[in-house]
Structure 1
Amino acid sequence: MVDRVLEQSKALTQVLSDDRKTRHLVPTWQDIDVLESINSALKPLQEFTDILSGEEYVSVSYLKPVLYLLKNTTLAAKEEDTDLTKTIKSKIIAYLEKNYNDPETQELLDVASLLDPRFKKDYISPENVTRIEDRVRVEMEEIARTEKRPHVSDTGATEKKGLRSVGSLFTKQTPSAAVRVEAVIDAELNSYLMVPVITGESDPLAWWKIHTVNFPILSRLARKYLCVPATSSPSERLFSASGNIVTCERACLKPEMVDIFCSERRSTNGPILSSVGGATDD
């Protein structure tokens, strides 16, 4: 809005000056300076806001890189900035640090960043890398034990009581299941971290789909974290679409019909209310 006002400032001045009742609304040079200072601080944030508000791609792992760029590049004070611009930038940085400074939130973002093959450990603080890797290992163990994969299952248990083959007398003692679980997990995580990061334009979900065979346990953990949206925008869009569909005149719509219409609205991004005309009788 501010950018548009600055772009059309001459036209606005002309229109407001032509009417005696609106001449007092003509922006002064001080007003223009204030708007330019505000625009200089806020305009660069538009692109990041659009990226983090998307719902058709992984967004949660973008948060750490975005916060890093905002703090060190986009919102960094410049010599040509006015005092007001510098103040706005510093306030935004302080606000972001306050809202993302929670240890649990930071740990969630670090794990999501680690599981994104585009970033991995690039945006994790060096002192936190070991702790994040340990958390990933613990969660991988939980997944492995829950699934009871063949290579990490407990030994033992198919023998029938009282029946032993001759070959069983020569079987060597095998390590315990717990030891083998840790070995498999360490090998899988270390192999993943050794793989070079992919380009920023690549789709991490497509990468994980291809490499599921190589990282079967880690890929399940990646799906758990990378599905988290970075903002509440997707859910707000869904509520808005539902509000436009389930009106007082359509209060008898069945839940499955609402799901169909919401899905169509998201896919076409256009009005579909005309197709729901006779649905109130269902």
Structure 2
Amino acid sequence: MLNVLEPRYSIPSRKRMSEEIIPKLYNEVKQKITLSLTTADRVALTCDGWTSRHQDTYVTITCHYLDDWVLISNVLQTRAMQDSHTGANICALLSDALEEWGLTKKDPIIVTNNNATNMIRAVEMMELLHIGCFAHTINLASQAALKLPAISRLLGRVRRIVTFFHRSANANKVFKEKQRLLNLPCRKLTIDVVTRWNSALDMLDRFLEQQPAISAALLSPELLDEMRSTAGDSTVIKELKSAIHDNLRFRYANLKEKLYVASALDPRFKTLPFISDEEREDTFTTLISEIVTLEQVKQQGSDSAGNGGSAPVQEQKSLSEGDSDPSPAPPKRSKESCALLDLLGAAYVCAPVADRAREEVGKYREVTPIPLSDDPLKWWCKHEGVYPLLSLQAKRYLCVPGTSVPAERIFSTAGDIITAQRSCLLPEHVDQLLFLQKNYSFQ
């Protein structure tokens, strides 16, 4: 077609595409993302490993940060794991990524799958804050509850019946006839999957919906007795909730304080109705303490940058003039200085910041929470000037994704790129193609 439209046009060769055009485009987009990352106060990373259809193992890293109260998400890199997938090797890979993208001083947080013990170990070795994927945590806690004897027996019986209708063509035919006779929706029975807890709920919902057709097809009154509500159901439900609660409490034991602060900074949940009054007050006290600490670090950084290099110059000048006393003269007291400030200044330097922080937190707590359907980032964008100190903490917490799903979404995209017809793709080209597919529209 191109030859007919423009015979003089030369189509780029495979070599030129892979060695010139794609790498050039990759470097252009990478420079834009690197420049944008320099403005981020804090970054959150998600990472996960996956295996291609050619049994090559890769680790993909995504980055999330706030830019003018807009959550920006980018795929940073996809690296092949040639060595064993130990925590030390993954730690080296993550450390190289932070160094390459200039994120070591951005106080990064890493979100990973709770089942990936090597990932968790790598983050521990890097001494970074690790957040377990909320979706995986809920699944693990729910699966632990579904293993209770009463629940497991019930799910096992339903699963065997559903499997029978899936495998038997004759049984499925009778089942469809009963659906039409009973005016039930003509939908298939679903079966649960271990990796998705809600699939068990979907299986039971569909089973109860089609229960008349199932019982008519099987002519089994015992099944009806099993599914009918009984007095013992309340005990089972209590055991189910207790198992989920205990599992979640164990998994979030070390992160409870951070998660409470994150919830407090979300204007939808800032009343913290799910905890006690004492825990609520402790949470806002912790938030005030973090605000003061952040301001101290910023002040120390500005002081060291402003005073650097002054003392060596003075000493060099004195020695060059041949003074008999090589010790430098004591520095003159500034006009703003006084004896009381020299004596107690270090202890009271942060008092104004603490007072401002308490004032902002008090005003923030008095405001009515916004509806759950509203965007908390848009709320903070409008009220940043009202809460200048509190908004800095909101930027540090609300940029962290709750799950590692952004990294896992790369798996399906990678399956479209690494096909059977592209078995010779080098890891470098896989990285570039995935990077461009997800980031090319980045502005």
- In the alignment, which residue of structure 2 is the partner of 1:206? 378
Q: Which segment drifts farther, 113-122 or 230-239? A: 230-239
How much has 1:115 moved relative to structure 2? Answer: 1.1
Structure-1 separation of matches of 2:235 and 2:289: 43
What amino acid sits opposite 1:105 in the alignment?
L
More helix by share: 1
The reply on whether 1:185 has 2:357 as its aligned counterpart is yes
1:172–1:255 Cα change, 3 Å: same
Structure-2 separation of matches of 1:84 and 1:231: 36
Asked if the contact 1:143–1:217 (Cα under 8 Å) also holds between the matched residues in 2, the reply is no
What amino acid sits opposite 1:29 in the alignment?
P
- In the alignment, which residue of structure 2 is the partner of 1:82? 230
Asked if the contact 1:6–1:32 (Cα under 8 Å) also holds between the matched residues in 2, the reply is no
What amino acid sits opposite 1:137 in the alignment?
I
- In the alignment, which residue of structure 1 is the partner of 2:223? 31
Structure-2 separation of matches of 1:143 and 1:173: 26
**Which structure would you say has the larger Rg?**
2
How much has 1:208 moved relative to structure 2? Answer: 1.0
Structure-2 separation of matches of 1:243 and 1:87: 46
Asked if the contact 1:100–1:106 (Cα under 8 Å) also holds between the matched residues in 2, the reply is no
- In the alignment, which residue of structure 2 is the partner of 1:114? 264
- In the alignment, which residue of structure 1 is the partner of 2:293? 142
What amino acid sits opposite 2:230 in the alignment?
T
- Can you list the C-alpha shifts for 1:253-277, whole angstroms capped at 9, x where unaligned? 342320333469xxxxxxxxxxxxx
Asked if the contact 2:413–2:434 (Cα under 8 Å) also holds between the matched residues in 1, the reply is no
- In the alignment, which residue of structure 1 is the partner of 2:204? 2
- In the alignment, which residue of structure 1 is the partner of 2:177? none
More strand by share: 2
Asked if the contact 1:140–1:221 (Cα under 8 Å) also holds between the matched residues in 2, the reply is yes
Structure-2 separation of matches of 1:221 and 1:246: 41
- In the alignment, which residue of structure 1 is the partner of 2:118? none
1:1-282 paired onto structure 2 within 5 Å = 1-12=203-214, 26=218, 28-34=220-226, 36=227, 81-83=229-231, 85-102=233-250, 103-123=253-273, 124-148=275-299, 168=335, 176-247=348-419, 249=422, 251-252=425-426, 253-262=429-438
TM-score normalised by structure 2 residue count = 0.38
Percent identity between the aligned chains? 29
Segments of structure 1 that go 5 or more residues without pairing to the other structure are 18-25, 38-80, 265-282
TM-score normalised by structure 1 residue count = 0.57
Structure-2 separation of matches of 1:9 and 1:91: 25
Q: Which segment drifts farther, 174-183 or 89-98? A: 174-183
Structure-2 separation of matches of 1:169 and 1:87: 71
Asked if the contact 1:246–1:258 (Cα under 8 Å) also holds between the matched residues in 2, the reply is no
Structure-1 separation of matches of 2:214 and 2:336: 95
Structure-2 separation of matches of 1:164 and 1:241: 64
How much has 1:244 moved relative to structure 2? Answer: 4.7
RMSD: 4.0
- Can you list the C-alpha shifts for 1:96-137, whole angstroms capped at 9, x where unaligned? 221232443332332122111122133231121222122112
1:153–1:97 Cα change, 3 Å: farther
Structure-2 separation of matches of 1:210 and 1:29: 62
How much has 1:206 moved relative to structure 2? Answer: 1.0
Q: Which segment drifts farther, 220-229 or 178-187? A: 220-229
Asked if the contact 2:384–2:391 (Cα under 8 Å) also holds between the matched residues in 1, the reply is yes
- In the alignment, which residue of structure 2 is the partner of 1:48? none
How much has 1:214 moved relative to structure 2? Answer: 1.6
1:7–1:95 Cα change, 3 Å: same
Structure with the bigger RCO (C-alpha within 8 Å, sep 6+) is 2
- In the alignment, which residue of structure 1 is the partner of 2:23? none
